[in-house]
Homo-oligomer: A and B are copies of this chain.
Amino acid sequence: MPANPLNTDDFDGQLYDLRMSEKARPLFEAVKKFIAQEVEPMSEEFFRLGENREDRWSWAPGQLELLDGVKAKAKEQGLWNFFLPDAETGEGLSNLDYAYIAVELGKNRLASESLNCSAPDTGNMEVLERVGTPEQKKQWLEPLLNGEIRSCFGMTEPHMASSDARNISTQAVLDGDEWVINGEKYYISGAGDPRCKVMICMVKTNPDAAPHQQQSQILVPMDTPGLEIVGPMKVFGNDDAPHGHMHIRLKDVRVPKENVLLGEGRGFEISQLRLGPGRIHHCMRSIGAAEKALQMMVERGLSREAFGKPLVALGGNTEIISRARIEIEAMRMMVLRAAKAMDLMGNAEARVWVSAVKAMVPERVCQIIDQAIQMHGATGVSQWTPLPDMYHSQRTLRLADGPDEVHHMVVGRAEIARYAPYDVSDEHVDVGRN
C-alpha cells in the first residue's frame, strides 16, 4: 500500500518540523517593520486620493507616485521579489518561510504590491523564470521583476465548466510565423489596471492531441490588435476597479510564433510549475481573514447586551467562538504542513497537500465570517464593517483556482489510489492559475 500521501513517514519526520527557519527570521521581522512604517501610512493617503477619481478604471493623480516611492524603498532595502522560492533571482525562501510572511502581507491591501509579491504577477514571474527564453525574460520578466509593469493570466472562459481544466475553447492557430488567437476569457484579474502590459493566455493549439497535450500558453501583449476588454466582471456586485476582473474577447489576435512558452502542447506542464506559493499565500491570507472575523465576533459580542447578558454568553455563541478558534488552528497547521511538503517534495509531488488546504480553508473561513456577521446583527451586512467584503472574497475563493469539488476529487482519488490503481485519466483536474 502506498503511503498516505498526506502523512508520509519519509523525510525522517521532517514534515513535522513547521518552524520558521532561522535564516528567514530577519526578513520576516524586516517585512513586518516595513509594512508598519512605510506601507501603512502610505496606504491611507493612497486610498483617500483614489476615492473620487474621475475614471474608475484609472489611477488618480498622485496615487502611483506614492506607491512607486514605497516600492523604491523596498527594493533598496532588499525587501523585494522574495516570493520566488529557491530561485536564482529571488530570495531563496522556502515555501514554509514564505507562508509565515504571507500572513503579514495579508494584513494590508498594498503590502504585497509594495514588495513586488502580488498576484497574478508572482505566478507569471515564476513561470517566466523557469521556462522563459532569454528573449522572453528580457522583454517581460525583467520589467516585472523591476515592478515597472504588471501582468495577467488568461485561463477561465465564460462558456466552459472551468472545473475541468482541459475545457479550453480559445483557439490559437499557426499562420506562418504568427499565432492567430480567437476566443473569450473572463475573470481575468488585474487586466483592468492600465499598467498591465501582458497576458499569459491558455489556448488550445492541438485539438487532436491527447487530452493533456492540446493546450499551450502564449504571451499576448495587452495592446495587441483584436484583444478587447469587453468590461468588468463583478464579484457579488463589486468590480474591484481599477485592478478589475475583466471580460476579454480575442478576435484574430496575432502574436509572433516565439511567444509560446516552453513549446506547443505543453500548457499543462507549465501549469504544474504554477502550483508554487500562490495557493499557500491565498490560504494564509484566508486564515488571516478568519482571525479578523473571530476578533470582530468576540468584540461585538462583548459590546452588546441582550436579555441582561453580553451576546457572547447567549445561546450557543460561546461554542461558536470555540469552534471558530479550533478550526483556525487546524487550518493553520494544515497550511504550514502543505508548505513544508512543497519544500521537501517539490510542487508537483505535494499537490495533494495543496489541494487539501485549498478544499478545506475557504469553505470554513466563509462560515466563520458568516457567524461574525450574525453576531453583528444588521450592522454585519452594512458598510460599517468589512465583513461583507471579506465574505465575498472568501466565497469567491471557493470557485477560483479550481472549485472545492475539484480539490476534493484530487484528495479523494489520491486516497483511493493507495488501495487500488485508479483510472487517472482525469488527474490533471487541478491546474494552477494563481
A residues touching B (Cβ–Cβ < 8 Å)? 4, 6-7, 13-14, 16-20, 156, 158, 160-164, 167, 186-187, 233-238, 294-295, 298-299, 301-302, 304-307, 311-312, 314-326, 329-334, 336-337, 356, 359-360, 370, 373-374, 377-383, 388-389, 391-392, 395-396, 398-400, 403-405, 407-413, 415-416, 418-420, 426, 429
Which residues of chain B have C-beta atoms less than 8 A from A411's C-beta? Answer: 321-322, 325-326
Are A326 and B360 in touch, CB under 8 angstroms?
Answer: yes
Are A326 and B334 in touch, CB under 8 angstroms?
Answer: yes
Are A334 and B325 in touch, CB under 8 angstroms?
Answer: no
A235–B234 Cα distance when bound, in Å, is 16
Known contacts A237-B236, A405-B315; decide if A377 and B412 are in contact (CB<8 Å).
no
Which residues of chain B have C-beta atoms less than 8 A from A323's C-beta? Answer: 408
> A409 touches which one: B319, B377, B383, B420 (CB < 8 A)?
B319
A162–B167 Cα distance when bound, in Å, is 36
Minimum CB–CB distance from A376 to chain B (whole Å) comes to: 8
A16–B96 Cα distance when bound, in Å, is 12
Are B408 and A318 in touch, CB under 8 angstroms?
Answer: yes
List 10 extra interface pairs beyond A187-B382, A302-B420, A318-B409, CB under 8 A: A16-B336, A161-B377, A186-B382, A234-B383, A237-B237, A307-B426, A321-B415, A322-B408, A329-B356, A377-B403
> A164 touches which one: B234, B306, B405, B420 (CB < 8 A)?
B306
A333–B17 Cα distance when bound, in Å, is 11
Known contacts A325-B6, A383-B233; decide if A377 and B162 are in contact (CB<8 Å).
yes
Which residues of chain B have C-beta atoms less than 8 A from A420's C-beta? Answer: 302
A–B Cβ pairs within 8 angstroms, 10 of them: A233-B382, A234-B383, A236-B236, A236-B388, A298-B415, A316-B316, A319-B412, A326-B359, A326-B411, A329-B334
Known contacts A7-B332, A161-B306, A381-B235; decide if A405 and B314 are in contact (CB<8 Å).
yes
Are A18 and B16 in touch, CB under 8 angstroms?
Answer: yes
A38–B377 Cα distance when bound, in Å, is 38
Which residues of chain B have C-beta atoms less than 8 A from A333's C-beta? Answer: 330, 333-334, 337
Chain B residue with Cβ nearest A159: B304
Minimum CB–CB distance from A65 to chain B (whole Å) comes to: 29
Are B383 and A237 in touch, CB under 8 angstroms?
Answer: yes
Which residues of chain B have C-beta atoms less than 8 A from A336's C-beta? Answer: 16
In the complex this chain forms, how many copies of it are found? 4
Are B237 and A359 in touch, CB under 8 angstroms?
Answer: no
Minimum CB–CB distance from A169 to chain B (whole Å) comes to: 12
A164–B356 Cα distance when bound, in Å, is 31
Are A315 and B312 in touch, CB under 8 angstroms?
Answer: no
Known contacts A398-B374, A408-B318, A415-B298; decide if A14 and B7 are in contact (CB<8 Å).
no
Are A405 and B359 in touch, CB under 8 angstroms?
Answer: no
Are B412 and A322 in touch, CB under 8 angstroms?
Answer: yes
Are B325 and A415 in touch, CB under 8 angstroms?
Answer: yes
Which residues of chain B have C-beta atoms less than 8 A from A161's C-beta? Answer: 304-306, 311, 377
Minimum CB–CB distance from A324 to chain B (whole Å) comes to: 8
Are B19 and A359 in touch, CB under 8 angstroms?
Answer: no
Are A378 and B13 in touch, CB under 8 angstroms?
Answer: no
Chain B residue with Cβ nearest A294: B415
Chain B residue with Cβ nearest A96: B16
Known contacts A19-B13, A305-B161; decide if A377 and B399 are in contact (CB<8 Å).
yes
Are B238 and A237 in touch, CB under 8 angstroms?
Answer: yes
Chain B residue with Cβ nearest A5: B325
Chain B residue with Cβ nearest A334: B330
Minimum CB–CB distance from A106 to chain B (whole Å) comes to: 16
A158–B160 Cα distance when bound, in Å, is 43
The residue among A156, A374, A408 with the most chain B CB atoms within 10 A of its own CB is: A408
A211–B375 Cα distance when bound, in Å, is 24
A17–B336 Cα distance when bound, in Å, is 11
> A405 touches which one: B319, B332, B356 (CB < 8 A)?
B319
Minimum CB–CB distance from A354 to chain B (whole Å) comes to: 12
Minimum CB–CB distance from A380 to chain B (whole Å) comes to: 7
Give 7 closest A-B pairs by Cβ, nearest first: A316-B316, A164-B306, A318-B412, A322-B412, A333-B333, A161-B304, A322-B411
